Structure 1
Amino acid sequence: MIQPEERIRAAQAAVIVSNLILGAGILTLPRSALENTHTPDAWIAVLLAGALALLGGCGIALLSRRYPGQTVYEFAGRIVGRAPGFVLSVLIVAYFLATAAFQVRSMSEVSSFFLLEGTPTWVITAIFLWVGLYLTVGGIGPIARLFEIILPATVAFLALLSVLSLRIFEPDRIRPVLGEGIAPVLRGLKATSLAYSGSEIMLILTAYMRSPKQAVKAVAAGILVPIAIYVPIVFIAVGALSVEGTLSRTWPTIDLIRSFEIGGLIFERFESLLLITWILQIFSSFTIAYYAASLGVSRLLGGRSARLCLYALLPVVYLLIRAPRNIRDVFGFGDVIGECYIWMFGALPWALLILSVCKEKWNAKGQPSS
């Protein structure tokens, strides 16, 4: 039973969706988009992928709001049956655990390379995990309130960096638009769609909303914010670094910010501020994914203490973090998570929604008239 103090507003749900989406993709999206398009039109693929993510997110919200006060771990069994619902819940828990681990591993890779060179990665990881555990133990309320502080600061700072990056932007590098047709853009849709994973959290958040009827508006707003950030970042990165230059960089957004400096300001170079902002976003993505996984385990075990599950899952997350051996394995790990996102939270919510509506109509027909 969800307590009144655990209820969140629609705006807070939208903020949580945005924070989960804005994870590792901020630093890697320009390169991953170009790896499949190989044209300056990668930003169009990012825009179209955002539209597809918006469609998928609306399906998730429409499905979830049909079962107010229940998370996917409760209503999945009502739709597809107890055993299939249990299997689906286990897969969702595994997905959120993998997402949490991937975010932390990405953070440790970047931090050890750019900020804390020589610091053992296990130290960075352990501190991050324990701080995240401290937040999630408080429940969804403290998580939502912290995210309301982090997201506006992130959006404002990234908007400022985008404007400053225009100093080295060359329009000729993004011309001609659709010069090689629409085919390269379509090839890039799959890779760019992976950066928008996050709307699936509405399968849990809708149960905590004060007004579940606003779930569609919340998820739409939560996805539109990352679209407004991702598209300019890719557009400016290609125009400033060129297609070849972006493809040759592991973390192109960082290299973009390092390509210019502004004299006379307190901060003449901005990559450290970018990394601090990005780490806050990674922290957001990790905590909500970790909380969703622990909630799922709690429900699967018959309502056991979610706090106990948070502590129990911490070693599991750490083992997943340490599983990739190098940066190539980390990116491969992210690709696997992205594939799971497409299969599990793309068309499946719409299929479950249709099945749910049909079952409701069948049950209504089977009831004797009074």
Structure 2
Amino acid sequence: MIRSEDKITTFQAIVVFVSYTMAAGILSLPRTAVEEAGTPDVWISVLLGGLITTAAGVIMTKLSQDYPGQTFFQYGGDIVGKWLGALIGLFFIEHFVTIAAFEVRIMAEVINFFLLEETPLWAIIMTMMWVGFYSIKDGMGSLARLFEIIFPITIIIFLTVVLMSFGLFELDNLRPVLGKGVMPVLKGTKATTLSFISAEVMVFLLAFMKKPEKGVKVVVMGITIAMLFYLTTIVFVIGALSVDGVTAMTWPTLDLIRSYEVSGLIFERFESLLLVIWIMQLFATFSISFYAASLGLSQIFKNKSRPMMYGLLPVIYLIAMTPKSVNEVFSLGDIIGYIAAVLFGIVPIPLLLISKIRKKKALGS
């Protein structure tokens, strides 16, 4: 049973959904998308990626709405049997654990590169993991309230620092539209869709909602907000730095913010502000993934979640420390995206069909 203090409003659910979706992609998506497409038309790829992800999210939501008050880790066995349901649930948990490890490693890389150059990665990762543990130990209710505070701050600071780069913006860097046809846009859609992958959060989030019938609204609103963030980022980064400039940079969004300064203000350089809020967003994705994995394990093995949280800490740490370089970290991110596309883009379709068939048979009998 979900505790009453863990029940969240529709707005809080949207905030959690967006916080899970917007993470490392804002910092690296302009480069990865342009590398795939090779043209400035990746803003169209963002729109297509958002539509594809919305469809996956709606399917996942419709599946969860058939079992109100339950997460997939609880109702999976009712669809495909106890053992297969547990096996699929464990695959979902493995994905959340890997996401948590990836996000905490990206967090450490960004902090190490821009803020604490001499600090070893393991020290940053361990610190962030324990802070994450503290934030999730009291459940979804406290986690949602935390993100409710972070989210508006993120919007204000992000829009401020990105829009202040308007002086560097050149519309010609986004032209010609579809100059090389549609194929580059479709190639870029692969990268943008991987950054949008977020349907998986609905395997457990719907169970915590006070109004689960609003689940589709959460998905549509959440992906729309994330899409606007990604669209703004890509347009301004490519418009200011050009396609060739973006592909030469590891963190093009941060490099854009570092490329201008405004004299006479309290802050003359703004990358530190963006770093602070985006470290919070990375931390949000890490925390949600960490919580989802521990929740799933506790429900599958019918145990308390706190011991599962402790048990996952060394696992997340070992996975986070496995990549030896930033390039290997990005490769891990690509692998996570491909696995997510299968687990949460393809697997839910037969599960939804089986669920509907079972319910019709039950009503018929």
Q: TM-score, normalised by structure 1?
A: 0.97
CA distance in 2 between counterparts of 1:305 and 1:6 reads: 15
* Contact 1:61 1:206 survives alignment (8 Å): yes
* Shift, 1:203, TM fit: 0.9
Percent of residue pairs identical: 45
Matching residue of 1:337: 336
Give the secondary-structure state (helix, strand or coil) at the position aligned to 2:176: coil
* Contact 1:44 1:185 survives alignment (8 Å): yes
CA distance in 2 between counterparts of 1:283 and 1:96 reads: 14
CA distance in 2 between counterparts of 1:106 and 1:188 reads: 22
Q: Which runs of 5+ in 1 are unaligned?
A: none
**Larger deviation, residues 50-59 vs 245-254:** 50-59
Matching residue of 2:39: 39
Matching residue of 2:221: 221
Q: Which runs of 5+ in 2 are unaligned?
A: none
**Residue type of the partner of 1:159?**
L
* Contact 1:99 1:337 survives alignment (8 Å): yes
Matching residue of 1:286: 286
**Residue type of the partner of 1:262?**
V
**Residue type of the partner of 1:315?**
P
Matching residue of 2:347: 348
Matching residue of 2:309: 310
Matching residue of 1:211: 211
Matching residue of 2:148: 148
Matching residue of 1:104: 104
CA distance in 1 between counterparts of 2:137 and 2:25 reads: 27
Give the secondary-structure state (helix, strand or coil) at the position aligned to 1:188: helix
* Shift, 1:162, TM fit: 2.4
Counterparts in 2 of 1:111-150, with a 5 A limit? 111-150=111-150
CA distance in 2 between counterparts of 1:306 and 1:217 reads: 29
The one-character-per-residue Cα deviations of 1:58-99 (angstroms, maximum 9, x if unpaired) are 111111111001100011111112221111001000000000
* Shift, 1:5, TM fit: 1.5
* Shift, 1:362, TM fit: 1.9
Matching residue of 1:19: 19
CA distance in 2 between counterparts of 1:296 and 1:18 reads: 21
Pairing 1:357–2:339 present? no
**Residue type of the partner of 2:190?**
K
Pairing 1:251–2:275 present? no
The one-character-per-residue Cα deviations of 1:185-226 (angstroms, maximum 9, x if unpaired) are 011111111111223111101111111111111121111111
Flag as ranges the 4+ runs of structure 1 deviating above 3 A.
Answer: none
CA distance in 1 between counterparts of 2:303 and 2:294 reads: 10
* Contact 1:199 1:223 survives alignment (8 Å): no
* Shift, 1:173, TM fit: 0.9
* Shift, 1:46, TM fit: 1.1
**Residue type of the partner of 1:350?**
I
Counterparts in 2 of 1:312-331, with a 5 A limit? 312-331=311-330
CA distance in 1 between counterparts of 2:208 and 2:85 reads: 21
Counterparts in 2 of 1:175-190, with a 5 A limit? 175-190=175-190
**Residue type of the partner of 1:198?**
S
* Shift, 1:295, TM fit: 0.6
**Residue type of the partner of 1:363?**
A
CA distance in 2 between counterparts of 1:47 and 1:254 reads: 23
**Residue type of the partner of 2:313?**
L
* Contact 1:13 1:219 survives alignment (8 Å): no
CA distance in 2 between counterparts of 1:198 and 1:144 reads: 16
**Residue type of the partner of 1:234?**
I
CA distance in 2 between counterparts of 1:100 and 1:355 reads: 31
**Residue type of the partner of 2:343?**
M
* Shift, 1:310, TM fit: 0.6
**Residue type of the partner of 1:297?**
L
* Contact 1:34 1:247 survives alignment (8 Å): yes
Matching residue of 1:79: 79
* Contact 2:99 2:336 survives alignment (8 Å): yes
The number of aligned residues is 365
* Contact 1:298 1:309 survives alignment (8 Å): yes
* Shift, 1:363, TM fit: 2.3
